[in-house]
């Protein structure tokens, strides 16, 4: 029986599995959707630079063994489909290293061979902490040893200046456990008094969560407006990132629209954040046009890179291409689009 795709391989090894995207935010991909991706029945939903950055955690129920994880960087073709040849090559390398029993005990030498696989990548320390926190929460495992101190910090029992000893993993843990231990209430109470560094760290962890309460989203929005008013632009952008994945997308959109009338129009990181974290908001074609107009006017040097990033996202592709055909557009946007096709470098 042939094993051409990742899902073929996992199913024939009698493994259950979960798949997460680690490219933009840490988010689960349903198994049924991933099966279609693996079989080239649909494009990968969250591409970055023509690759899918994946975490696949798998286990055998019958053997009651621990969970294993692959971190994979799989190439995509021009249509965003995950290359079958790459999947087959990866499978062949794994079988050569350890046979078809994916949950067998492996030697150090085998571990080295697996780590040298060209399709394996090492996530950043931050992404790894967030992934671990989410896994522990989903599979009802204890949080890390950093969690109690961060909880105490947000409870107010540690002075808000004494954040230097807190580990990033603890922030990831509290973000992954918003529905436990009154964590949302604790964060809401602490928000107005947080100094820049811990607030920014919290934002990086919250951006991966959907279950942020409406009240917490509202408080984050208030802080974003306040920090921007105070000239704290980096924190204002990170606060937008914090609610990028929240269920209350109407509030996220309101904050984004407010920021379109601010000094952030001149900030390159703001445009990169919208493309990288808030791309779902650009489903609104009016907002998408506003984004491209502002980008062409204020950060034209970034236009080719961010256009290419957004047009590769399957859910946005048609809407992004439609922008090329609009007749009512500014001279700046016309110039930026012209440069896309000419291959010339922007002037600003």
Tokens of 76: 């995509």
Contact in structure between 271 and 301 (CB atoms under 8 Å): no
For helices 214-229 and 249-259, the axis angle rounded to 10 degrees is 10
Q: What is the pLDDT of residues 197-242, one digit of tens each?
A: 999 999 999 999 999 999 999 999 999 999 999 999 999 999 999 9
| Rounded distance between C-alpha atoms, residue 247 and residue 245, angstroms | 7
Tokens of 304: 């080719």
Q: Is residue 82 part of a domain?
A: yes
Q: What is the dihedral of CA 29, 32, 36, 42, to 10 degrees?
A: -60
Q: Is residue 108 part of a domain?
A: yes
Helices and strands (H and E) in the chain: how many: 17, 4
Q: What is the pLDDT of residues 67-123, one digit of tens each?
A: 889 999 999 999 999 999 999 999 888 888 766 566 555 555 555 666 678 899 999
| Rounded distance between C-alpha atoms, residue 64 and residue 280, angstroms | 39
Q: Is residue 187 part of a domain?
A: no
Q: Residue 213, class by beta-carbon neighbours within 10 Å (0-12 exposed, 13-18 middle, 19+ buried)?
A: middle
The Cα angle at residue 316 between residues 310 and 320, in degrees rounded to 5: 70
Q: Is residue 193 part of a domain?
A: no
pTM over 0.95: no
Which residues, listed in sequence order, are joined to residue 16 by a DSSP beta bridge? 59
DSSP code string of 215-240: HHHHHHHHHHHHHHHTT-HHHHHHHH
Q: Distance from CA of residue 219 to its chain's centroid?
A: 22
Q: Which domain does 29 fall in, by range?
A: 6-115
Tokens of 42: 């649909």
| Number of structural domains in the chain | 1
Instruction: Give rounded-to-5 percent helix, strand, coil for the chain.
Output: 55, 10, 35
pLDDT in tens, the chain (348 residues): 467 899 998 888 888 999 999 999 999 999 999 999 999 999 999 999 999 999 999 887 776 667 889 999 999 999 999 999 999 999 888 888 766 566 555 555 555 666 678 899 999 999 999 999 999 999 999 999 999 999 999 998 877 667 888 999 999 999 999 999 999 999 999 999 999 999 999 999 999 999 999 999 999 999 999 999 999 999 999 999 999 999 999 999 999 999 999 999 999 999 999 999 999 999 999 999 999 999 999 999 999 999 999 999 999 999 999 999 998 999 999 999 998 887 655 555
| Rounded distance between C-alpha atoms, residue 187 and residue 193, angstroms | 10
Q: Residue 346, class by beta-carbon neighbours within 10 Å (0-12 exposed, 13-18 middle, 19+ buried)?
A: middle
Q: Is residue 289 part of a domain?
A: no
Q: Is residue 43 part of a domain?
A: yes
The Cα angle at residue 106 between residues 104 and 110, in degrees rounded to 5: 130
Q: Is residue 169 part of a domain?
A: no
The Cα angle at residue 241 between residues 52 and 137, in degrees rounded to 5: 70
Q: Is residue 259 part of a domain?
A: no
């Amino acid at each position: 029986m042939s094993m051409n795709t990742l899902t073929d391989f996992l199913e024939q090894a009698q493994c259950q599995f979960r798949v997460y995207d680690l490219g933009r935010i840490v988010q689960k991909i349903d198994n049924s959707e991933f099966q279609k991706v693996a079989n080239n029945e649909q494009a990968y939903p969250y591409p970055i630079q023509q690759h899918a950055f994946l975490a696949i955690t798998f286990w055998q129920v019958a053997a009651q063994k621990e969970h294993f994880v692959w971190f994979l960087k799989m190439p995509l073709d021009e249509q965003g489909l995950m290359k079958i040849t790459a999947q087959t090559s990866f499978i062949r390398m794994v079988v050569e290293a350890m046979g078809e029993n994916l949950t067998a005990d492996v030697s150090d030498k085998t571990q080295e061979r697996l780590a040298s696989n060209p399709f394996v990548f090492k996530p950043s320390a931050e992404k790894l902490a967030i992934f671990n926190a989410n896994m522990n929460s989903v599979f009802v495992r204890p949080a890390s040893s950093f969690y109690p101190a961060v909880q105490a910090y947000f409870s107010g029992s540690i002075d808000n200046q004494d954040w230097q000893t807190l580990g990033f993993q603890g922030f990831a843990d509290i973000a992954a456990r918003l529905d436990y231990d009154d964590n949302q209430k604790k964060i809401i109470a602490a928000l107005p008094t947080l100094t820049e560094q811990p607030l920014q760290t919290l934002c990086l962890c919250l951006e991966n969560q959907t279950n942020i309460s409406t009240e917490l989203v509202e408080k984050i929005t208030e802080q974003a407006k306040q920090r921007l008013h105070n000239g704290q632009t980096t924190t204002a952008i990170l606060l937008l990132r914090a609610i990028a994945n929240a269920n209350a997308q109407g509030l996220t959109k309101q904050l984004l629209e407010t920021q379109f009338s601010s000094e952030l129009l001149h900030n390159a990181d703001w445009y990169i954040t919208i493309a990288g974290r808030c791309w779902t908001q650009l489903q609104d074609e009016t907002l998408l046009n506003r984004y491209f107009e502002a980008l062409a006017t204020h950060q034209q040097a970034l236009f080719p890179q961010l256009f290419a990033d957004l047009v590769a996202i399957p859910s946005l592709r048609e809407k992004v291409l439609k922008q090329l055909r609009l007749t009512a557009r500014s001279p700046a946007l016309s110039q930026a689009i012209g440069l896309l096709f000419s291959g010339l470098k922007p002037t600003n």
